[in-house]
């Protein structure tokens, strides 16, 4: 009986050893990487030719190239880097932000992108000055790489940076009703804004049923059945999903 | 739906149900069945559900048994690792890396120090390089075995779970002999390892490498051509190569879709380019191909380990660099200079130069990267984890929509998530 099962052939495992990148190009472990200087990613020059003034300074540190770009042009630049066959940055590794301990140094939004074909790595940065005038807002790269969805949501959750035209920019790791601010900002204390006792009190007072997101409630059409605070929040004109 | 106020004063919602005797008059017979067509149902899975592999919560909108929409919720385990890291010295962060992806703790330890060493400008010793390769491949074996076992349970096969968890225990015994802990190894330090492997440890590893492929063969015979297994995995959660890249998938998820991106090959570290191993690549990008890829990766890990054991050189494990490595206790108590180094290292911690670096490794789940930003002080300004299973999980709505409810479990299992890493 068991032989019956074993002889059934559901298609043998098919494995093909395919390598991205160009043939004959065998990368090796980087050794003795210099702190400053070193080879610049060739995409930087192409970016300057294509976008001119929208590209700011570039730095090479520990063998990685960083390019500062203009805030409003991010999506355009990313779309070109992704789709142009001479660049082909098809892979978005990470979207995050950095706030320095310095009071005046701008917050930086960081994109780590990768070309699998050319085995290149590029770090794009946008500086958002903390002068109170510049909005903490950058264009979303979700239309270019779908993988940016949760990464941008996390960045919003932790730093309060909004990503324009992101389809669903909600908090992700913290809950939607979280009101204490943005934890990875330097003005956020390590232990949170409230004492343990206050946090416990707040948690116990919270309505455990207010756990569905607005998007889900639009599915339920159970608006009238909601707890009062959520009804108020939704009634106040907050965006209800698509 | 009615709202009642209970004794505690808290509102309780309950569904009003009218219990009627089932008779001909009640309408259930004679073609008078209640009409449910076109009505969608909302189902909540998790956060406390064994098949969600942790505290994942999925809200599913169902049309009959077909998933129309899936909304995942994460964050139940959020502990703020990245925030805590900004208040710790580099070596003090290593215990946190154990706890994010706890199935790959040794791999995370190595990944963390690889990034930190790039930042400090340290070149590690030959023996340390090979030991770290051994550590990473052992944790890859652990992670894939846990994946195999839990996925088998999800889909309904119990025996491979026992086999794989038994072998996993053997690897844990090895790691315990080396670092003193099974899961929370904290096995590395900036510039070296917590300790050299003890006497006879390599023989234990050799014995494991002899036995382990037999277990793999057993699982292979049990699953790969098993009609039930194949029927429950083929054609589920298909991602095309373009989609997989666009969604940022990595690791076995990406390779099952046919993109041969492996950080060990494309952006090598720890001299991985000198090892002879293959990158298995699937063709269909479904759950079955992910299983095949992971199964083959286990064999490739064994190949790498065999080579690493052969080439393991003698010599020191830690670099000879008083900036980062503590002097021996004898030296610290007898030599003035060593005592100062010891004091400064413990009290102030090593200080990297100003700069930033992003170092990716191939974790069992995919591309895991640690991004450090240093302002020249002993604590990083920013320590960022690029979590592979977080990005992989973000594609779950795309993968499950249109499939049956029971297949959601299989697809979710195939992503190989670890909630510790997703929520951090």
CB contact under 8 A, A62 and B83: no
Gap from A74 CA to chain B (nearest CA, Å): 17
Gap from B230 CA to chain A (nearest CA, Å): 7
- CATH number, domain of A73, equals 3.30.460.80
**Among B420, B387, B374, which Cα is nearest to B85's?**
B374
pLDDT digits (tens, 9 = 90+) for A181-208: 899 998 888 888 888 888 788 777 776 5
B47 touches chain A (CB under 8 A): no
Assess whether pLDDT exceeds 60 at residue A17: no
Looking at residue B235, what is its pLDDT?
86
DSSP string, B112-153: HHHHHHHHHT----HHHHHHHHHHHHHHHHHHHHHHHHHHHH
For the entire predicted model, the pTM comes to 0.83
Residue A2 lies in a domain: no
**Among B121, B86, B95, which Cα is nearest to B194's?**
B95
Range of the domain at A165: 33-172
Residue A197 lies in a domain: no
Of B235 and A23, the structure prediction assigns the larger pLDDT to B235
- Max CA pair span of chain B: 98
pLDDT digits (tens, 9 = 90+) for B251-281: 899 999 888 888 888 888 888 888 888 888 8
Residue A93 lies in a domain: yes
Residue A56 lies in a domain: yes
pLDDT digits (tens, 9 = 90+) for B114-160: 999 988 888 899 999 999 999 999 999 999 999 999 999 888 888 88
CB contact under 8 A, B249 and A184: no
Would you say B370 and B33 are in contact if contact means Cβ atoms under 8 Å apart? no
Residue A184 lies in a domain: no
Walk me through the domains of chain B, giving residue ranges and CATH numbers. 81-423 (1.10.645.10)
Residue A109 lies in a domain: yes
Looking at residue A234, what is its pLDDT?
57
Is the complex ipTM higher than 0.85? Answer: no
What part of B 319-348 touches A (C-beta under 8 Å)?
Answer: none
Helix (H) or strand (E) holding A60: strand A55-61
**Minimum CA–CA partner of B243 in chain A:** A146
Domain count, chain A: 1
- Count contacts between A and B (CB, < 8 Å): 186
Chain B residues with CB under 8 Å of A64 CB are 356-358
Residue A43 lies in a domain: yes
pLDDT digits (tens, 9 = 90+) for B35-88: 455 667 788 887 888 777 888 888 888 888 888 888 888 888 898 899 999 999
Which of B1, B278, B391 shows the shortest C-beta gap to A225? B1
Tell me what percent of the residues of chain A surpass a pLDDT of 90.
20
CA distance A81 to A83: 6
Residue A229 lies in a domain: no
**Among B292, B279, B138, B305, which Cα is nearest to B226's?**
B292
């Amino acid at each position: 009986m068991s032989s019956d099962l074993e002889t059934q052939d559901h298609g043998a495992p098919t494995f093909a050893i395919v390598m991205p990148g160009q043939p004959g190009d065998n990368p090796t472990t980087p050794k003795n990487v210099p702190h400053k200087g070193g080879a610049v990613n060739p995409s930087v020059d192409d970016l300057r030719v294509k976008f001119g003034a929208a590209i700011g300074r570039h730095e090479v540190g520990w063998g990685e190239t960083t390019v500062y770009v203009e805030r409003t042009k991010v999506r355009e630049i990313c779309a070109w880097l992704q789709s142009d066959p001479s660049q082909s940055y098809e892979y978005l590794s990470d979207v995050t932000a950095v706030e320095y301990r310095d009071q005046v140094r701008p917050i930086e939004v960081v994109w780590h992108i990768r070309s699998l074909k050319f085995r290149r790595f590029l770090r794009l940065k946008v500086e958002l000055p903390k002068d109170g005038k510049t909005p903490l807002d950058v264009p979303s790269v979700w239309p270019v790489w779908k993988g940016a969805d949760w990464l941008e949501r996390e960045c919003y959750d932790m730093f309060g940076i909004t990503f324009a035209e992101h389809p669903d920019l909600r908090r992700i790791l913290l809950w939607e009703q979280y009101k204490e601010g943005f934890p990875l900002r330097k003005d956020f204390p390590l232990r949170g804004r409230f004492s343990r006792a206050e946090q416990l009190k707040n948690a116990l007072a919270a309505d455990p049923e207010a756990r569905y997101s607005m998007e889900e409630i639009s599915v339920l059409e159970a608006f009238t059945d909601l707890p009062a605070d959520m009804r108020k929040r939704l009634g106040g004109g907050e965006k209800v999903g698509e | 739906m009615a709202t009642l106020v209970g004794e505690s004063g808290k509102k309780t919602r309950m569904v009003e149900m009218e219990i009627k005797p089932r008779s001909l008059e009640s309408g259930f017979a004679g073609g008078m069945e209640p009409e449910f067509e076109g009505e969608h149902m909302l189902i909540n899975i998790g956060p406390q559900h064994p098949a969600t592999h942790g505290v994942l919560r999925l809200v599913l909108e169902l049309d009959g048994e077909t998933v129309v929409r899936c909304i995942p919720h994460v964050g139940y385990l959020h502990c703020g690792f990245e925030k805590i890291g900004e208040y710790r010295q580099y070596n003090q962060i290593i215990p946190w890396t154990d706890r994010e992806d706890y199935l790959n703790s040794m791999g995370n330890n190595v990944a963390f120090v690889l990034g930190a060493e790039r930042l400090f400008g340290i070149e590690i010793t030959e023996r340390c390089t090979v030991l770290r390769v051994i550590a990473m491949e052992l944790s890859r074996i652990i992670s894939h075995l846990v994946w195999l076992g839990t996925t088998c349970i999800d889909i309904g096969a119990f025996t491979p779970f026992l086999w794989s968890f038994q072998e996993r225990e053997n690897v844990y015994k090895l790691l315990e002999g080396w670092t003193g802990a099974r899961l929370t190894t904290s096995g590395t330090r900036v510039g070296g390892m917590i300790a050299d492997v003890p006497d006879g440890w390599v023989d234990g590893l050799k014995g494991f490498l002899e036995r382990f492929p037999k277990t793999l063969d057993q699982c292979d015979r049990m699953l790969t051509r098993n009609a039930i297994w194949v029927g429950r995995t083929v054609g589920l959660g298909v991602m095309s190569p373009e989609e997989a890249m666009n969604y940022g998938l990595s690791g076995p998820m990406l390779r099952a879709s046919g993109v041969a991106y492996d950080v060990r090959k494309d952006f090598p570290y720890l001299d991985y380019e000198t090892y002879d191993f293959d990158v298995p690549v699937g063709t269909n990008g479904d759950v079955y191909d992910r299983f095949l890829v992971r199964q083959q990766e286990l064999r490739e890990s064994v190949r790498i380990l065999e080579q690493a054991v052969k080439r393991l050189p003698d010599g020191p494990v830690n670099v000879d660099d008083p900036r980062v490595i503590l002097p021996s206790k004898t030296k610290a108590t007898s030599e003035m200079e060593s005592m100062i180094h010891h004091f400064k290292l413990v009290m102030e911690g090593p200080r990297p130069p100003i700069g930033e670096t992003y170092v990716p490794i191939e974790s069992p789940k995919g591309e895991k990267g640690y991004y450090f930003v240093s302002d020249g002080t002993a604590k990083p300004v920013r320590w960022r984890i690029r979590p592979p299973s977080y990005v992989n999980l973000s594609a779950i709505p795309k993968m499950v929509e249109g499939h049956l409810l029971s297949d959601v479990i299989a697809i979710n299992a195939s992503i190989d998530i670890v909630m510790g890493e997703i929520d951090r």
